[in-house]
């Protein structure tokens, strides 16, 4: 139960944990250890603990019941406060099959950033612009969790400069394309404005474009990497996927099926139950976003601990999935678990929940399921590492320079 607490001293009865060094807090340990930082403290202190990161006193919270309560209390107790199309997929996989070796991370990152810019904000740019945009997003992602020091040489400064250049690129592209109102962009951008309670202004539009491409491109490319890693390790899952596709006449390679693009409508994909299980299990084990950042609007109590106003709360999505009490094997990749009658009780917060549930959930589902189907239809593949070592932050990605070999599949 969550209790609002406006009367007593909000520093009383704080969760366990350390605040670290003055000013720096525990930011340096976090930057060095990444996701392991949270694992160590959760193992020591439990599902709720305090720390101090990037200039903000912070409380990390995980656990299915806790996240359900807090996501439901969006904009009442908490508010968001993070640190400051089909043809594309088909053509890209064709290109991979003609290459002797594919660099996994850069290829997927490039493909899904391009897909997001065209599908979500209707920006079709020349290759030079696409390449520069990918480089700038890389710069931002690599410096996402750094000390907030805006001086040359520091990661925070690099990220701000990259975002400034990106916004200028988007602003110039809007002028070249002659788009002067939000209505000239896809509906998802209008949804973004409604969520922000914002009137149309150019700066808001540019920021909306930046966020949509960043969120869709970065998170979906990370999830696509996890698709390749999991499917390469579990060939039985690939065979079951192909059996399901074959049962509805969708396994024929594209060059032999003139109706390929037409057949793969969302309503068709949504009827493929095992595909849905694989999709959910990949996102359960490897959520693209490990934690959801919020600012505390008013002091409240949770599990007997005080959560003070103006502190930062991190809702631990990855932690909650990995410590699922309903499962004896939460770290094992087993898509069939989602076929069980009680699978609705499993923790699944990949897209958050409550009022700020990810508006791009439908887009992510469509694109990732299409990617899985196309892999099964078009090719067999192997990766340079049998069990790739992954880093979880800022988004899941291979620790080493993971490459792949893709071979066109023939029936």
For the annotated binding site, the residues are: 358
Question: DSSP of 148-164, one letter per residue?
Answer: ---STTSHHHHHHHHHH
* Residue 197 burial (10 A CB sphere; 0-12, 13-18, 19+): exposed
For 96, residues 6+ apart whose C-beta sits below 8 A from its C-beta are 102, 107, 379, 381, 404, 406
Record the tokens describing residue 37, joined without a space: 């930082």
Binding residues for heme: 358
Record the tokens describing residue 202, joined without a space: 């150019």
Task: Report the C-alpha gap between 238 and 229 in whole angstroms.
Answer: 12
Exposure string over 111-127, b if 16+ CB within 10 A, otherwise e: bbbbbbbbbbbebebee
Q: Rounded to a whole number, what is the largest CA-CA distance in the chain? A: 71
Record the tokens describing residue 2, joined without a space: 């969550």
CA-to-CA dists, residue 167 to 133, 171, 174, 206, 354, angstroms: 10, 6, 10, 6, 30
265, 267, 270, 274: CA torsion to nearest 10: -70
Tell me the three-class secondary structure of 239-257, residue by residue: HHHHHHHHHCCCCCCHHHC
* Residue 410 burial (10 A CB sphere; 0-12, 13-18, 19+): exposed
Q: Among 402, 93, 377, which Cα is nearest to 225's?
A: 402
């Amino acid at each position: 139960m969550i209790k609002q607490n406006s009367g007593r001293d909000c520093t009383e009865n704080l969760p366990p944990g350390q605040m670290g060094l003055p000013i720096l807090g525990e930011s340096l340990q976090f930057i060095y250890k990444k996701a392991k930082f949270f694992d160590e403290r959760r193992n020591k202190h439990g599902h709720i603990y305090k720390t101090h990161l990037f200039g903000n006193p912070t409380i990390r919270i995980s656990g299915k019941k806790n996240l359900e309560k807090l996501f439901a209390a969006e904009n009442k107790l908490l508010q968001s406060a993070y640190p400051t199309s089909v043809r594309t997929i088909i053509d890209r996989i064709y290109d991979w099959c003609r290459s002797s070796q594919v660099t996994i991370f850069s290829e997927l990152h490039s493909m899904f950033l391009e897909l997001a810019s065209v599908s979500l904000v209707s920006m079709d740019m020349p290759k030079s612009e696409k390449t520069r945009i990918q480089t700038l997003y890389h710069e931002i992602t690599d410096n996402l969790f750094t000390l907030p020091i805006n001086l040359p040489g520091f990661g925070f400064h690099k990220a701000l400069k990259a975002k400034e250049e990106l916004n200028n690129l988007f602003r110039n592209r809007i002028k070249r394309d002659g788009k002067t109102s939000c209505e000239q962009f896809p509906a998802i951008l209008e949804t973004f404005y409604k969520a922000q309670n914002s009137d149309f202004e150019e700066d808001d539009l540019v920021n909306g474009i930046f966020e949509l491409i960043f969120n869709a491109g970065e998170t979906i490319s990370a999830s696509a990497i996890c698709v390749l890693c999991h499917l390469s390790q579990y060939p039985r899952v690939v065979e079951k996927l192909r059996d399901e596709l074959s049962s509805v006449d969708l396994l024929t390679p594209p060059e032999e099926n003139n109706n390929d693009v037409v057949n793969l409508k969302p309503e068709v994909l949504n009827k493929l139950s095992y595909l849905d299980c694989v999709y959910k299990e990949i996102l359960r084990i490897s959520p693209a976003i490990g934690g959801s950042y919020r600012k505390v609007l008013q002091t409240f109590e949770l599990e007997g601990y005080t959560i003070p106003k103006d502190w930062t709360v991190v809702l631990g999505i990855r932690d909650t999935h990995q410590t699922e009490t309903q499962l004896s094997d939460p770290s094992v990749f087993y898509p069939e678990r989602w076929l069980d009658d009680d699978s609705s009780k499993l923790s699944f917060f990949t897209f958050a929940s409550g009022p700020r549930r990810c508006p791009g959930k439908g887009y992510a589902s469509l694109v990732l399921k299409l990617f899985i189907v196309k892999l099964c239809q078009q090719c067999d593949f192997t990766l340079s590492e049998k069990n790739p070592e992954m880093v979880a932050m800022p988004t899941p990605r291979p620790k080493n320079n993971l490459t792949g070999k893709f071979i066109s599949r023939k029936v």
